[in-house]
A and B are shown apart, each in its own frame.
Chain A
Amino acid sequence: MTFTVQARRARPHALPAAAGFLLGLLALGPALLPGFVLSYDMVFVPDPPLGLGVTSGPARAVPSDLVVALAARVAPVQICEKVILLAIFTTACAGAAALVSARWQAQPDGGWRTRLGPLVTGVCYAWNPFVAERLIMGQWAMLLGYAGLPWVLRELAAWPQAGRLLAGRLAVAIVPAAIGGFAAMSVTAVAALPVAFCGSGAIGPRFRRTALTAAVLLVASLPWVIPSFLAPVLADPNGANAFAARADTPFGALGSLVLLGGIWNARAVPAGYGGLAASIAWLILAVLALSGYLLVARPRRLCPGLGVAGFAGFCVAALGTWGPTLALLRAAIAFWPAFALLRDGQQFIAPLALAESAGLGAGVLWLAGGRSRPSRPDASAAALLGVLALLAPVLLLPGLALGAFGRLRAVEYPADWLAARTMIDAPGTGPGAVLLLPWAQYRQYPWNHGEPVFDPWPRMLSRPMIWNDALRVGSATVAAESAQARRLGPAIESGRPLTSVLLRAGVRYVIIDAGPLLGRPRARLAGLARLPGARVLLASQDLIVLQLIAR
Chain B
Amino acid sequence: MSSLWLMIIAIVAGAALAFGSTLIVTSALAGANNSPVNQQLFNYGTR
Report the separation of the CA atoms of residues A247 and B47 in the bound assembly, to the nearest whole angstrom: 30
How close is A287's CB to chain B, nearest CB, in angstroms?
A: 13
B35 x A249 contact (CB < 8 A): yes
Residues 30-47 of chain B, each 1 if its beta carbon lies under 8 Å from chain A, else 0: 011111111111111111
Interface residue tally for chain B (C-beta within 8 Å): 35
Given A398-B21, A399-B28, decide whether A439 and B36 contact each other with a Cβ distance below 8 A. no
Of B9, B31, B39, B45, the most chain A CB neighbours within 10 A belong to B45
Residue of A nearest to B20 (CB): A281
Query: CB distance A474 to B39 under 8 Å?
Result: yes
Q: A269-B33, A271-B32, A274-B36 are in contact. Are A514 and B45 (CB under 8 A)?
A: yes
Bound Cα distance from A281 to B10, whole angstroms: 16
| A246 in complex: contacting residue of B11, B21, B31, B38, CB < 8 Å | B38
**Chain A residues in 8 Å Cβ range of B47:** 438, 515-516
Question: Which stretch, A82-90, A175-183, A335-343, A382-390, touches the partner chain B?
Answer: A382-390
The contact of A381 among B7, B33, B37, B41, by CB within 8 Å, is B7
Closest to A476 in B: B39
- From B6, B29, B41, contact of A267 by CB (8 A): B41
Partner among B35, B39, B44, B46 whose Cβ is within 8 Å of the Cβ of A273:
B35
A398 touches B37 (CB 8 A): no
Among the listed B23, B33, B41, which residue makes an inter-chain contact with A274, where contact means beta carbons less than 8 Å apart? B33
Inter-subunit contact B46/A444 (CB<8 Å): yes
Give the interface size class of chain A: 35 or more
> Across the interface, which residues of B come within 8 angstroms of A440, CB to CB?
43-45
Contact across chains for B39 and A264 when beta carbons are under 8 A apart = yes
B44 and A444 form a contact (CB under 8 A): yes
Chain A residues near B40: list those with CB within 8 A. Answer: 265-267, 473-474
Q: Which of A272-318 contact B (CB under 8 A)?
A: 272-278, 280-281
CA–CA, A269 and B27, complex, Å: 13
In chain A between 169 and 199, which residues have their CB closer than 8 angstroms to a CB of chain B? none
The answer to whether A224 has its CB under 8 Å from any CB of chain B is no
The answer to whether A272 and B43 touch (CB under 8 A), given A266-B35, A266-B37, A381-B7, is no
Q: Which residues of A contact B21 (CB under 8 A)?
A: 281, 395-396, 398
Chain A residues positioned under 8 Å from B38 (CB to CB): 246, 266, 474
CB-contacts of B10-28 with A (<8 A) = 10-11, 13-14, 17, 20-21, 23-25, 27-28
Bound CA span A396–B37, Å? 19
Whether a CB of chain B sits under 8 angstroms from the CB of A348 is no
Given A271-B28, A385-B10, residue A392 in contact with residue B44 (CB < 8 A): no
Indicate if the CB atoms of A388 and B13 lie closer than 8 Å.
yes
Q: Which residue of A lies closest to B18 (CB)?
A: A395
In the complex, what residues of A have CB within 8 A of residue B24's CB? 272-273, 275, 277-278, 281, 395-398
Task: Select one of A275, A377, A473 contacting B1, CB under 8 A.
Answer: A377
- For A269, the chain B residues whose CB sits under 8 A away are 33, 35, 37
Q: Are A475 and B39 neighbours in the complex by a CB distance under 8 Å?
A: yes
A248 adjacent to chain B (CB < 8 Å): yes
| Most interface-central of B6, B20, B31, B37 (chain A CB within 10 A) | B37
Question: Which residues of the other chain, A, contact B39 by a CB distance below 8 angstroms?
Answer: 242, 246, 264-266, 473-475
For residue A468, which residue of chain B has the nearest CB? B45
Specify which of B3, B11, B31, B41 lies most central, judged by the most chain A CB atoms within 10 Å of its CB: B41
A247-273: CB near B (< 8 Å → 1, else 0) gives 111100000000000011111011111
A471 interface residue per 8 A CB criterion: yes
Chain B residues in 8 Å Cβ range of A277:
20, 23-24, 27
A277 to B36, CA, bound (A): 14
Q: Are B44 and A443 in contact (CB under 8 A)?
A: yes
Distance, CA A443 to CA B39, complexed state (A): 18
C-alpha spacing A242/B39, complex, angstroms: 9
Given A269-B37, A272-B28, A275-B24, the answer on whether A377 and B43 have CB atoms closer than 8 Å is no
Could you name 7 residue pairs across A and B whose Cβ atoms are closer than 8 Å? Answer: A265-B37, A271-B32, A278-B24, A381-B3, A396-B21, A397-B24, A473-B42
A residues lining the B interface (CB < 8 Å): 40, 242, 246-250, 263-267, 269-278, 280-281, 375, 377-378, 380-382, 384-385, 388, 391-392, 395-399, 405, 437-444, 452, 468, 470-475, 514-516
Which 3 pairs between the two chains have the least Cβ-Cβ distance?
A272-B28, A440-B45, A474-B39
- Further contacts, 10 of them, CB under 8 A, given A384-B14, A468-B45: A246-B37, A271-B27, A271-B31, A281-B24, A388-B17, A397-B24, A437-B45, A440-B45, A473-B40, A514-B44
